[in-house]
Amino acid sequence: MLAWRQSAIVNWSMTERSSCYICQARTVDEIRQALTAARGRGLSVIAHGAGHSYTDAALNNGGLLLDLSAMRRVLAWDPARGIMRVEPGVSIGEVARVALADRWWPPVTPSTASATVGGCVAMNVNGKNAWTHGSFGEHVLSLTVLLVDGQLLTVSPTQDGELFRALVGSAGLLGIITSITLQLRRVPSDRVEVSVRPGRSLRELFQIFEDEQAADYLEAWVDGFAAGRELGRGIVTVSNHSERVTSAGPLAFRLPEQSMHRLAHWGGILCRPLVESGVRGANSIIYRGSRWPARTGPRQTPLVRATYYAPALFTGYRVLLPAGSETFQAFVPATEAGSLFAEILRRSQEHGYVPLWCIIKRHRRDPFLLSYQVDGFSLEVNYRLIPERAQGLHQLLRGLMELVIVAGGRFYLAKDSLLTHSLYRRSIGDAAVAAFLDLKLHYDPDLLLQSNLYRRVFQPSLQQHAER
């Protein structure tokens, strides 16, 4: 008998609190039982991985949240071919750990090691190599998915390809993913050579992306406070897999994990009264420091450390920003990216909402139905949420969304909490939304699978779709 509890759960950005039932499933049969029980009680259901989406994708007010984090077995690992089959609750960090011991690595990974593989498929995550390796779903060989009628299906790019391409990136709204088979990537060692290249403006950052397009990974940090001629100044981190390990043992002194968390906690408390001025000062120091030739590298760094944020940073973030943060990520065609990103930074500054941290990545199109990737770049901006100023911030971001749509851009369901159904349809296109809703009505006719995100972004479109 599955245990249910009633609880309140918060999204990762701490911007939304959801009161729901929670039940943890350990097997496919338990997922089936949970679906049947929820149906009996008239409740909707949504799968929950590690809850690392910034949005309401894994929240379900008044419904059931199906926690799959206990389904965390690696079911099969073939180190000769780099093929791994996992349960959906296995974290991407665990995939990386097992694979790296045999010199393999996830070809696409987000920068949080805690995200589950089920969550990575359901949101079709991207990494710092998205312009060469695409999105997560492009490396999935097959999935098993439990449909709401109790059927267990195996889908792949060639078997039920249409459903496969719709499931990847469908935010848990078509079925529950119960296992995933991944093709991993061979790597020469567990290290990368990391160099940093400062750029005095957005134009220089884009030029560095162009010059370094043969790199394995690229990501730019942008100083949201820099204005005028230095608008968009930042640092591009360029990483390449190391052919051989040149320095043995740990590369830098690190405090034990518990001390790091304690330090981050107290650092967060001390810095809380000075968030804006502190970040402005730190940005300036980081940027100027990166211009010293001695600091530009390359330096050999463990691949794990170069890829994933240290968990202690999350502790610091939560203490520093107790009301949470609002994130906005615009995916924009290459030709429009320079002017649009400058406009996003400029308007944010003019309205008095300076983003605390901003990231640029390069992307390419992918074949999935609800794809958010474009041949171009994304800018992720993160703002401190101050409840009494939230309305103004939301107004600013909705205005920016209009600009992104006019530029032919798209949005990411894992990061944009303010996207409405009409903005979403205009960005991704009516045809994609209509095709998705047809599949939703076919595979989930009673709309058992729902989340707050579903009700925000899809439900109004479904009502219009059904009336036609």
Ligand X SMILES: Cc1cc2nc3c(=O)[nH]c(=O)nc-3n(C[C@H](O)[C@H](O)[C@H](O)COP(=O)(O)OP(=O)(O)OC[C@H]3O[C@@H](n4cnc5c(N)ncnc54)[C@H](O)[C@@H]3O)c2cc1C
Report the interface residues with ligand X, using CB under 6 A: 12, 46-53, 57-58, 68, 88, 110-112, 115-116, 118-120, 122-123, 125-127, 171-172, 176-177, 309, 414, 451
Q: How far is the CB of 65 from ligand X (least distance, A)?
A: 9
The position carrying tokens 């170069």 is 306
Cβ nearer to ligand X, comparing 218 with 231: 218
Alpha-helix runs per DSSP H in 92-178 = 92-100, 117-123, 130-133, 161-167
CA separation for the pair 401, 423 (Å, rounded): 8
Nearest to residue 451, comparing CAs of 3, 112, 9?
9
Q: How far is the CB of 213 from ligand X (least distance, A)?
A: 19
Q: How far is the CB of 248 from ligand X (least distance, A)?
A: 30
Cβ nearer to ligand X, comparing 61 with 284: 61
Q: How far is the CB of 120 from ligand X (least distance, A)?
A: 6
Q: Which amino acid is at 451?
A: S
Cβ nearer to ligand X, comparing 201 with 417: 417
Helix (H) or strand (E) holding 393: helix 390-406
Quick check: bond before 188 cis, omega within 30? no
Q: How far is the CB of 56 from ligand X (least distance, A)?
A: 9
The 3 state secondary structure assigned to 122-142 is HHCCECCCHHHHCEHHHHEEE
Cβ nearer to ligand X, comparing 124 with 201: 124
Q: How far is the CB of 52 from ligand X (least distance, A)?
A: 3
Q: How far is the CB of 111 from ligand X (least distance, A)?
A: 4
Cβ nearer to ligand X, comparing 201 with 461: 461
Cβ nearer to ligand X, comparing 17 with 295: 17
CB atoms within 10 A of CB 277: 11
Token pair listed for 179: 């296992």
CA separation for the pair 220, 235 (Å, rounded): 5
Gap between the terminal Cα atoms of the chain: 43
Nearest to residue 330, comparing CAs of 408, 389, 386?
408
Cβ nearer to ligand X, comparing 121 with 231: 121
The 3 state secondary structure assigned to 280-331 is HHHHHHHHHHHCCHHHCCCEEEEHHHHHCCCHHHHHHHHHHCCCCEEEEEEE
Cβ nearer to ligand X, comparing 134 with 224: 134
Cβ nearer to ligand X, comparing 89 with 232: 89
Q: How far is the CB of 454 from ligand X (least distance, A)?
A: 9
Q: How far is the CB of 68 from ligand X (least distance, A)?
A: 5
DSSP string of 320-362, one letter each residue: H-TT-EEEEEEEEEHHHHHHHHHHHHHHHHHTT---SEEEEEE
All residues at 6 or more sequence positions from 383 whose CB lies less than 8 Å from its CB, including other chains: 325, 326, 327, 328, 348, 353, 354, 355, 356, 393
All residues at 6 or more sequence positions from 250 whose CB lies less than 8 Å from its CB, including other chains: none
Cβ nearer to ligand X, comparing 402 with 446: 446
Q: How far is the CB of 362 from ligand X (least distance, A)?
A: 13
